[in-house]
Structure formats: C-alpha cells, structure tokens
Amino acid sequence: MSEDTASLPATIGVAGAGTMGAGIAQLACAAGAQTLLYDPVPGAAERGAQRALEGLEKLKARGKLSAEQVRDAWRRLDAVDALEGLAPSELVIEAAPEVMDVKRDLFGRLTHGILAEDCVIASNTSSIPITALAALVEHPERFVGLHFFNPAPVMRLVEVIAGVQTGERALALARATGAAMGKRVIDASDGPGFLVNRCGRPFGLEALRAVQEGLADVETVDRIVRLGGGFRMGPFELQDLVGIDTGFEVSKSFYELSFGEPRWRPSTLSARMVASGRHGRKTGRGWYGYEAGGIVREPDPEPPAASGPVGLGNGLVVIDGELTIADELRALAMQAGWDVRDPGDADGEVPFLILDCAGTPGDEPLQGGPIALLCAEASLASLDGGGPAAGFHALPPLDPGGLVELTRTSGTSDLSAERSEAFFGSLGLHTAWVGDAPGLVLGRLVCQLVNEAAFAVGEGVGSPSDVDDGMVLGLNHPRGPLAWGDLIGLEHVLVVLDALLDERGDPAYRAAPLLRRMVWEGRLGVATGAGFHDHGDLPGD
C-alpha cells in the first residue's frame, strides 16, 4: 500500500479508554471508522465511550457537527469488554499508561492470537522509543508511532513516527488516519520526545536556568514570556498545569535516553519542588499557589501609552546597528515621533538616549549621551564593564504592548537607567529589570528554541515546516521557532548562543552545526530572503 492509496481503515481499535483513548475514539468514529474501545478496568470502556459522546455533543452545540452526524458517529462506537473484541480492527491505536510492562503485556496478547498479521499497530506514546516498542510485537514492520496531543479532539496535530523497522504500509495508514481525522500530520524520526516535545524542551529548561542563576524570579520570567514573547502561558504556569513531577520525570527520561546530552540536563530546582510535594495545580501548590482552582498571581499590567518624546528632552535618539531589532526600534521610534538619527548625524546635539545595537566585547561603546547597549553578543558587564551604560534586549516582532528587558551593573548611571525605561515606555512597550546575561531572559529562551529546532532538522528528525507547524499546533507557541529565528535574524540567534557558551562554559549552549553553517552562508532569514524558510525575493532584487 502506498501513501497515495492509503485511506481511513474501516475498523479502528483503541486500547485504553482514559482521557487520550476516549479522545482518539471520538476522532475515529467521527471520521467514519467503526471504532472499538477497550480498557482492562471494569466499566472504563463504557465511561470512555460516554466521554467521547459528550465531546461529540459539544461539537454539535458549537455548530461543528449536525445532530445526524453525532448519531452516526455514536452508532459507530462500541465499548468492548475483552481484548479479543479488538480482533476485527485493521488499525489498533494503543493509549495505555506510559509503563513499559503494561505495554509489553498488551502487545504480547494482541499479537499472539487476537489481531490479524496485517493489522497495523500504532502507539500514542510520547516518551518511549517506537523502536523499543516494536520489538515487543510480531512483525515489527507493522508498528508505528501515532502521537496525538492533549486534548486529542481539540489539538490539530498528530505526529507519525517511524521506528527502525516500520514499513511504508504502516506509515501510510497512520498518515491517512490522521488526515481523515482532520489533523495536520507531521513525520518524525524515532528519538527522545520525537519532534515536537523535543523541540519544546528549552521552553521550561531555560526558564529554570534563568531563575537558578538569579536573572529573575518565577513571576517575572512568566510575565516576560507572555508579554515579550506572545506566549499564552509562561513556562512556570505551564509546569504547574502539566505537573512538576510529570515534567521532571520527562526531563530525566530525555537525559537518560540521550546518554547525558547537556541541553537536556534536568534542573535541580525541579527536583527540589518534587521532593517538597509541590507538584502544581493538582496538589494546590507549585511555583504558584492555587485557590478554588485558580492561579494566584498578579494580572499583567496594561502597556504604557505610546506618548513619544513628549516631555522627554529634545526628542533626539541615536540608534546604531544593523540587526533586525535595531531596524524595528528605529521604525517604532519614528512612528512615535522621535527624531531618530544614526551615529555621526547628531550635529553636536546631546541625544536623550543612545541605543547601541552593534556593540561587541572589547569595542568602546558609543559616546555623547546616556547609553543603552544591546546585550546580544555579550552581557552588559562584558560590553561595558564598570561603565555607565544600561543594558537591554528584545526580540522581533517588537510591537506596541510588547516588552523590553533592561539590566544594569554596579557602574550603570541612574540617568542611563531612567532614560532607557522612559524611552521604551514612550513606544508603548513594557519593561522588566532582570539580571545581566547575554540575551537576558527571553533572548536565551527563544534562541535555545531555535537552536534545538536546528539540531532536530540537521539530524533529520523533521523538516522546518513540520517543526514550526508542530510547535504552533501541538504546543500552542505563538510562532514556529525556525520562522521566528528567520524573523529575528539567524546571526542574532548565533551571537547570543556563542556569548552564553563563552560566558557560562556550558556545552548546553553550543550552536547547532546547521545554524552556524547557515550564518556562514549568509542565509540569515527574512532580511536576506532565505533562512530555514524561503522568504522570496527582497525588494529591489
């Protein structure tokens, strides 16, 4: 069977009727397949089928399904009370607990006298290698990963994962099934976290490192990520939602399966939280406290009014540098009414503020007024050790209502600090003061997301489009990391990573070879027309 001829199986079995299994069964019967739902716990299959019906009814209430479609789907869904009831299946999707012994017993029974030899078996596992699971079944070429995201009926993504022995027929059937369920199907090779969960690792791990290094507290990191990065939820809020203990076990699994990859090193902060019993929402306390199921944190403030230079000196600001962030700051400042000039064009006037976005360690910062240095190629202490400059960092797209991080050293003058805060506020941007480091908080987090995605693409785990679609559709990120890297400018991403590696001496910050090679080749992203994605011809080409 080729991918072109594969179609939704007539009968799909789902082994496991918990939250994921019930959701998958709902998708299968709604797509048109006769669906058999099994669970070894007495009554669990019936409860799972009822949850699937409730999900279908919700879709009807929202106008997504007609009453007739709901009735037809419900008629196609059968709860079976014995594993042998899955025998007619052409595809069985396993949604059992993530316990190897449980899966070993399940697959052993299914493939010894129950399922036909040509029945494809798919696992919804998110953490166990598909190749290892395939070794548990007869005819491992029929075994494939089919990873749905929670909640399965809502999330628009499914990963199809090939183990070492997975055959093309199994892959084609899995892809066709996902497509018939209305999902964006992406391919991933076998490995820790497959594609999406692997590429999402830095979101939590870098946040933990930032807190552990004293750059910011938990609440500040989450606020920066929400306001500066456009994420719906900060990394610590997400850890509380998922369960800190669950996330810690996943981190340990990644680290062990990779034989000690530094990028995936678990955090001692997570270990401490787990030991304390503060596991998140489910225990009533995690990084945040919870009352009546709600989160106890301050609401995000409204952005300052974009007042421009009114009341702020002569309205002159000097901006230097060729990175995309420098261009965005120029555009925002001019839109707000500032007199924006390049260095050397101030004609002897002392500017309200100088923004130096081109500083490198060892270079003398620009002179002639209060100054803020972009902390990309190094920390502020390295760029202006003992000097009066303030530091800042932000990432494109920088729109009103976004956030700029600020930092200072013992030598930073109050004037540079105050004017930096006032200038960014005049553009309608939030500000947050954090500790000193290359990329500050959001920069290091996002640059590591780009870096992990570049490692995955370079290692053939997935394509750039699959990575970006997966992160948006599977993890609700505001944009794909590779598209974001192209927008930021890959040279900007690389200098932050190199600076972190140089200052920290931690191989977790080594740049992906593919990322470095693309910068060497001048494929920097949107600004050059090509990066991880093709952005077409530049104006004037």
- What residues are labeled active site? 126, 147, 159, 197
Q: Parallel, antiparallel, or unpaired: how do β-strands 390-393 and 403-407 relate?
A: antiparallel
Tokens, residue 458: 């370079």
Contacts of 375 (CB under 8 A, 6+ apart): 383, 391, 392, 393, 407, 436, 437, 438, 439, 440, 443
Cα(2)–Cα(410) distance, integer angstroms: 66
Cα(299)–Cα(530) distance, integer angstroms: 39
**DSSP labels for 219-268?**
HHHHHHHHHHH--SS-HHHHHHHH-HHHHHHHHHHHHHHTTS-GGGPPPH
Q: Parallel, antiparallel, or unpaired: how do β-strands 11-15 and 34-38 relate?
A: parallel
The backbone torsions φ and ψ at residue 339, rounded to the nearest 5 degrees and listed phi first, read -85, 100
The backbone torsions φ and ψ at residue 138, rounded to the nearest 5 degrees and listed phi first, read -75, 145
Q: Parallel, antiparallel, or unpaired: how do β-strands 294-296 and 339-341 relate?
A: unpaired
SS (H, E, C) 163-232: CCCCCHHHHHHHHHHHHHCCCEEEEEECCCCCCHHHHCHHHHHHHHHHHHCCCCCHHHHHHHHHHHHCCC
């009103």: which residue's tokens? 400
SS (H, E, C) 60-76: HHCCCCCHHHHHHHHHC
Cα(370)–Cα(350) distance, integer angstroms: 9
Q: Give the dihedral sign, CA 313/319/324/327.
A: positive
């870098």: which residue's tokens? 206
Q: What is the separation, in whole angstroms, between the first and last Cα of the chain?
A: 46
**DSSP labels for 106-158?**
HHHHHTTTTS-TT-EEEE--SSS-HHHHHTTSSSGGGEEEEEE-SSTTT--EE
Cα(111)–Cα(356) distance, integer angstroms: 66
Which amino acid, 6?
Answer: A
The backbone torsions φ and ψ at residue 64, rounded to the nearest 5 degrees and listed phi first, read -85, -25
